[in-house]
């Protein structure tokens, strides 16, 4: 059981055919002796998610630009509705004025990239790249960079000293509160990392366990119950995949939006 779960949930280098040629002949040397550049299943899934974003949104943008009065295509309208959802529910509550337009490209990218990565992982035989701590940590670090960059741009170079501390704090308590607030800012990306990773991994583990019960008990009644349970969890995962993309993008927008103003 352990081997089955770990094989599904852990990463491994792609093998066979062209992958052996690429990984063994071109990418077998670590950069600086540390970074392994061989192509793994999760790296490949990230590329697929990125490719889907390009395939969907480049033609979509051209079509929307061409149809200035609005498109009658249901395909275009569906994506426009989702884009409007990101604007109304994620960006607009946390950014104001011209900042909304500047923030939209980033949060659209984050939301749809995570959304595609989550749903690709639900396809049998594929892998969920957002179930990798390295992937979710990379996305969370982008949020941390956004917080720091926006803070310095909007509040000046002293933002990291006084901008993160609530106003009206007695001078004697300022160092303590500053350390607490700084730690809180650093914990935010950690929370984003673990939240997305845990939610996208948990459902897969439960589905694998349900299916393993069939092989373990080899009983028709257990099999029926296991398949039914797996199907219900799978349907729940379809909802969770969307919710987690929304939560990650929303929390990132909240954290970055907060950096625009003094506490």
Residue 21 within any structural domain of the chain: no
Confidence of residue 246 (pLDDT cuts 50, 70, 90): very high
Smallest CA-to-CA distance from 88 within 69, 111, 66, 62 is with: 111
9 within some domain: no
Per-residue confidence (pLDDT) for residue 3, from 0 to 100: 58
pLDDT for position 157:
79
Confidence of residue 5 (pLDDT cuts 50, 70, 90): low
Helix (H, G, I), strand (E, B) or coil at 13: strand
Q: pLDDT tens digit string along 88-122?
A: 999 999 888 788 888 999 999 999 999 999 999 88
Cα distance between residue 121 and residue 138, in whole Å: 18
Q: Per the domain annotation, does 222 fall within a domain?
A: yes
Give the span between the Cα atoms of 161 and 46, in whole angstroms. Answer: 37
Residues near 48 by beta carbon (within 8 Å), at least 6 away in sequence? 120
Q: Would residue 171 count as lying in a domain?
A: yes
Residue 206 domain flag = yes
Q: Tell whether 67 is covered by a domain.
A: yes
Least confidently predicted of 5-14, 71-80, 94-103, 108-117: 5-14
Q: What is the 3-state secondary structure (H, E, C) of 25-49?
A: HCCCCCECCCECCCCEHHHHHHHHH
pLDDT tens for each residue of 183-206: 888 899 999 999 999 888 888 788
Position 249 scores a pLDDT of 95
Instruction: Answer whether residue 41 shows pLDDT above 80.
Output: yes
Tell whether 26 is covered by a domain: no
Mean pLDDT of the chain: 84
How many other C-beta atoms are found inside a 10 Å radius of the C-beta of residue 170? 7
More confident residue, 25 or 248: 248
Total domain count, the chain? 1
Structural domain includes residue 220? yes
- 143: confidence class by pLDDT, cuts 50, 70, 90: very high
pLDDT of residue 9: 65
Domain span at 212: 40-258
């Amino acid at each position: 059981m352990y081997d089955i779960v770990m094989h599904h949930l852990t990463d491994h280098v792609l093998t066979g055919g062209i992958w052996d040629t690429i990984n063994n002949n071109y990418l077998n040397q670590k950069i600086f002796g540390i970074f392994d550049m061989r192509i793994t299943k999760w790296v490949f899934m990230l590329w697929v998610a990125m490719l889907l974003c390009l395939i969907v949104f480049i033609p979509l943008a051209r079509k929307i630009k061409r149809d200035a009065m609005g498109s009658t295509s249901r395909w275009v309208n569906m994506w426009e509705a989702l884009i409007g959802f990101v604007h109304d529910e994620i960006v607009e509550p946390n950014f104001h004025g011209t900042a909304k337009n500047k923030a939209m490209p980033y949060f659209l990218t984050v939301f749809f990239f995570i959304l595609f990565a989550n749903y690709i992982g639900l396809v049998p035989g594929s892998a969920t790249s957002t179930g990798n701590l390295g992937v979710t940590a990379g996305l969370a670090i982008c949020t941390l960079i956004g917080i720091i960059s926006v803070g310095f741009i909007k509040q000046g170079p002293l933002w990291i000293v006084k901008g993160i501390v609530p106003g009206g704090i007695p001078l004697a308590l300022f160092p303590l509160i500053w350390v607490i607030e700084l730690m809180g800012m650093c914990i935010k990306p950690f929370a984003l990392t673990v939240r997305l990773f845990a939610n996208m991994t948990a459902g897969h583990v439960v589905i694998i366990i349900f299916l393993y019960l069939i092989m373990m008990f080899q009983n028709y009644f257990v099999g029926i119950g296991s398949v039914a349970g797996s199907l219900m969890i799978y349907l729940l995962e379809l909802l969770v995949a969307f919710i987690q993309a929304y939560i990650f993008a929303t929390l990132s927008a909240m954290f970055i939006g907060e950096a625009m103003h003094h506490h």
